[in-house]
């Protein structure tokens, strides 16, 4: 989708969000983190900082990082 519409298109952002969520639930936060990070950066570039989707992406990335930190230490 990103090749067709670009990294900040709503369909691309929704797909990244779905992928990060699925990986987080099924494979763990380490697998989801790169996608959650890419989602957060793309949302910040495309939307206003107080957008609900930016906040969702931020929480998703924070959850991945927090769970990885808890697992390692």
Residue 3: both structure tokens together: 């090749």
The pLDDT value recorded for residue 10 is 87
Token code pair at residue 34: 């790169």
Q: What is the model's pLDDT at position 60?
A: 95
* Cα gap 45→23, rounded to integer Å: 23
Per-residue pLDDT tens digits for 13-57: 999 999 999 999 999 999 999 999 999 999 999 998 889 999 999
N-term to C-term CA, the chain: 37
3-state SS, residue 7: coil
Give the pair of three-digit tokens for residue 42: 């793309």
* 70 token code pair: 């808890």
Count of helices and strands (H, E) across the chain: 4, 0
């Amino acid at each position: 989708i990103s090749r067709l519409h670009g990294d900040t298109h709503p369909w691309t952002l929704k797909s990244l969000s779905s992928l990060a969520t699925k990986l987080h639930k099924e494979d763990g936060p380490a697998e989801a983190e790169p996608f959650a990070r890419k989602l957060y950066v793309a949302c910040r570039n495309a939307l206003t900082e107080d957008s609900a989707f930016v906040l969702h992406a931020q929480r998703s990335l924070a959850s991945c990082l927090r769970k990885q930190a808890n697992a390692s230490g």
